[in-house]
Structure 1
Amino acid sequence: MVIYDSVQKEKVPFEPVREGEARIYVCGPTVYDDAHLGHARSAVAFDLLRRTLTALGYRVLFARNITDIDDKIINKHLTTGEPIEAITARYTERYEADMAALGVLPPDLAPKATGSLEAIVAMIEKLLKNDCAYRSEDGTVWFDTSKDPDYCSLSHRCGDEEEARARIVHEEGKRHPRDFALWKACKEADVCYDSPFGRGRPGWHIECSAMIDAYLAYENEPYEIDIHGGGADLFFPHHENEAAQTRCATRRTLAKYWMHNGFVRIDGEKMSKSLGNSFFVKDALESYDGETLRFYLLSTHYRADFNFNEEDLTAARKRLDRLYRLKKRLYGTAPSQVGGAFRDALLEALSDDLNVSKALAVVDEMVSEANERLDKNPKEKAYKKETMANIAWLDEVLGIGGQDAYRWFQKGFSPDEIARVENLIEARDAAKKARDFETADRIRDELGEMGIRLMDTPAGTVWERAEL
């Protein structure tokens, strides 16, 4: 496995901290609003990494946090009057539902900031003890970046003055412009928790370092985890600050490798709330099923910026249709063993820093070759079983191809419409059995007017949308 390390700025061999293991931490959402396509892009990208490492035989421990203490959440509480717990619970549930719809596997660990206060306070106490943090007059605890000689060794962006001016928040009580809050002192109308430093709440950066140290870190190793991931926008200052905190608190390196996914752009513009073009996942799921959206998000390499547009999304659906048409052709075939050549080719592609273009080309080639071979010999049972196994394995590695082939081509109909169609099909089957062919033909015509095409198979009557 070769991955692109954001710190070294090149592809490097993945050599885990402990042989056969892979511990991964990915920054999750701040739960004050619905999940947008940026959340989805990151979740799908690192889900692919997790699945690939698992397929390669690694024992993967995967964590993704939930930030449920944050200024945005507090502002929503103050604006709406809704309890913070209700806000965070609702948007956490929606986020998890959206990710499940995209086929993203649930994390092994999903720590929340509110559930990690003890770990956060313990790390801040270490930083104070190591003289890497200080308290200002109002009780806020700050990280002292001047005490970390390796600060900015991660992103190397501290010399970029324009970047620094854009990123640095000027606040009272800081000794140095780049210092950042570890614990924010309680203010009026704020959300506060007790701590040895006084009532307040944790800063954003400290939660990830504390969670990794408390729940995920290897013991007695120079690195706490193997891979830390997240969006490219988090590299500086969030990940830079995480790395600094861990160095100064534990005298260890937070992660051996850092991986970052690219931005999402809506028809060429970077997705941003300020631009008013933040496209929520729930909106996309109203018109497209989750697997189509997942396949579309997978189709661009994770490090590249992703330009979201409906034309390409529709094209992705058609490309995925080809896989399901092959699966439908194999309907009723029990899978056997995955083809060795197919497995090797797909893993070789994904082992090259998740080269998804090459991986999907392998899938397309498998589909084309299978159709050509089955055209010549449709009763080749062993090959049909192997092909079905290949498709089942795709669901494990890429998270695609796992749905019922016939149901796939019934997308676009509501549950009520599906029930009506299937009731009519049952009535038609009953009419045919009673040799009432006039009624059977009338029902078939009625279904045709509804845009339904019927196929009588040995397994029974199946249907799909006629325009396909």
Structure 2
Amino acid sequence: MLKVFNTLTRKKEEFKPRGGIVRLYTCGPSVYLQPHLGNFRTYVFEDVVKRVLLFEGYRVKHVMNITDVEDKAVKAAAGSMRKLRSITRGNEKIFMENSRELNLLPADYYPRASEDIPAMVGMIKKIVKRSWAYRDGEGNIFFDVSRFRSYGSLSRSRFRNSLNRRVYKDDYFQREAGDFILWKAWKECDGDVYWDTELGRGRPGWHIECSAMSEKYL
């Protein structure tokens, strides 16, 4: 019998996947730079977990994201969508080659963040409809952690003790400490790196990317 540590309950529990299928979403590369040894420590660990599950006889549906839209990538592209794609596709290719050299088992899906913008927009719209998010004066959309009562239960962090101050981070205004950005409104320095959507012109924040892709593919 396979047991795993449940971070939420802080206990080892019998592993019982629904329908006998393990839906596994693992952190993939942020391809603004070429992957390095520290990155592959994570991917090797994920591979070991997958191999154990397969050895135990489970069916595994594995999704690994490719983060090709985020602040560091946009900065490296200097406001050029063409350059962004050139940088990220090149580094993605190197990642795949390195993974094969390390004999890592391939995932079933490698969704790119840039190709799943509609899924992210759809999820943000649902969050806004539930009044769990707000816009600032520049068109950015933030998740309001004070509106989600169980937020922080996994990490056992008490965010409400620090929600009385305003902060600035990465040039994006946050109304309260702990709130994170879901949609980044376009700025002139972004050049042509943007998507025109129902939320306005801009791009997703990295928090929403994996949330939307895991829901879509798993």
After TM superposition, the score normalised by the length of structure 1 is 0.43
Match of 2:8 in 1: 7
CA contact (8 A) 2:159 2:178 kept: no
Counterpart AA for 1:130: R
Q: Secondary structure at the residue paired with 2:94?
A: helix
- Following TM superposition, by how much is the alpha carbon of 1:50 offset from its aligned partner in structure 2, in angstroms? 1.2
Match of 1:380 in 2: none
Report the Cα distance in structure 2 between the residues aligned to 1:134 and 1:84, rounded to whole angstroms: 29
Q: Answer with 1 or 2: which has the greater Rg.
A: 1
Q: Secondary structure at the residue paired with 1:189?
A: helix
Q: Once the two structures are superposed, what CA deviation does each residue of 1:184-205 show, in whole Å capped at 9, x if it has no partner? A: 0000121211111210000001
Report the Cα distance in structure 1 between the residues aligned to 2:98 and 2:122, rounded to whole angstroms: 34
Match of 2:95 in 1: 95
Query: Does residue 145 in structure 1 map to residue 145 in structure 2?
Result: yes
Report the Cα distance in structure 2 between the residues aligned to 1:80 and 1:170, rounded to whole angstroms: 19
Q: Which has the higher helix share?
A: 1
- Following TM superposition, by how much is the alpha carbon of 1:131 offset from its aligned partner in structure 2, in angstroms? 0.8
- CA 1:79–1:114: 2 relative to 1, 3 Å: closer
Q: Which has the higher strand share?
A: 2
CA contact (8 A) 2:146 2:160 kept: no
Report the Cα distance in structure 2 between the residues aligned to 1:96 and 1:112, rounded to whole angstroms: 13
Report the Cα distance in structure 2 between the residues aligned to 1:170 and 1:73, rounded to whole angstroms: 14
Q: How many residues align?
A: 212
Q: Once the two structures are superposed, what CA deviation does each residue of 1:432-465 show, in whole Å capped at 9, x if it has no partner? A: xxxxxxxxxxxxxxxxxxxxxxxxxxxxxxxxxx
Report the Cα distance in structure 2 between the residues aligned to 1:168 and 1:185, rounded to whole angstroms: 16
Match of 1:214 in 2: 216
Report the Cα distance in structure 1 between the residues aligned to 2:161 and 2:149, rounded to whole angstroms: 19
Report the Cα distance in structure 2 between the residues aligned to 1:184 and 1:124, rounded to whole angstroms: 12
Gaps of 5+ in 2: none
Report the Cα distance in structure 1 between the residues aligned to 2:161 and 2:90, rounded to whole angstroms: 40
Report the Cα distance in structure 1 between the residues aligned to 2:121 and 2:140, rounded to whole angstroms: 13
Query: Does residue 178 in structure 1 map to residue 178 in structure 2?
Result: yes
Report the Cα distance in structure 1 between the residues aligned to 2:168 and 2:157, rounded to whole angstroms: 12
- Following TM superposition, by how much is the alpha carbon of 1:17 offset from its aligned partner in structure 2, in angstroms? 2.2
Report the Cα distance in structure 1 between the residues aligned to 2:98 and 2:160, rounded to whole angstroms: 37
Match of 2:130 in 1: 130
Give the RMSD, CA atoms, in angstroms.
2.5
Match of 1:36 in 2: 36
- Following TM superposition, by how much is the alpha carbon of 1:12 offset from its aligned partner in structure 2, in angstroms? 2.0
Query: Does residue 198 in structure 1 map to residue 200 in structure 2?
Result: yes
Q: Secondary structure at the residue paired with 2:153?
A: coil
Report the Cα distance in structure 1 between the residues aligned to 2:173 and 2:57, rounded to whole angstroms: 50
Report the Cα distance in structure 1 between the residues aligned to 2:79 and 2:143, rounded to whole angstroms: 31
Q: Secondary structure at the residue paired with 1:83?
A: helix
Structure-to-structure mapping, 1:371-386, within 5 angstroms: none
Structure-to-structure mapping, 1:356-371, within 5 angstroms: none
Report the Cα distance in structure 2 between the residues aligned to 1:84 and 1:205, rounded to whole angstroms: 20
Q: Once the two structures are superposed, what CA deviation does each residue of 1:328-368 show, in whole Å capped at 9, x if it has no partner? A: xxxxxxxxxxxxxxxxxxxxxxxxxxxxxxxxxxxxxxxxx
- CA 1:42–1:172: 2 relative to 1, 3 Å: closer
- Following TM superposition, by how much is the alpha carbon of 1:6 offset from its aligned partner in structure 2, in angstroms? 2.9
Counterpart AA for 2:13: V
CA contact (8 A) 2:79 2:189 kept: no
CA contact (8 A) 1:168 1:178 kept: no
After TM superposition, the score normalised by the length of structure 2 is 0.89
- Following TM superposition, by how much is the alpha carbon of 1:173 offset from its aligned partner in structure 2, in angstroms? 4.1
- CA 1:109–1:150: 2 relative to 1, 3 Å: same
- Following TM superposition, by how much is the alpha carbon of 1:83 offset from its aligned partner in structure 2, in angstroms? 0.7
Q: Secondary structure at the residue paired with 1:49?
A: helix
Match of 2:17 in 1: 16
- CA 1:106–1:132: 2 relative to 1, 3 Å: same
- Following TM superposition, by how much is the alpha carbon of 1:77 offset from its aligned partner in structure 2, in angstroms? 1.4
Report the Cα distance in structure 2 between the residues aligned to 1:41 and 1:28, rounded to whole angstroms: 12
CA contact (8 A) 1:30 1:66 kept: yes
- Following TM superposition, by how much is the alpha carbon of 1:29 offset from its aligned partner in structure 2, in angstroms? 1.1
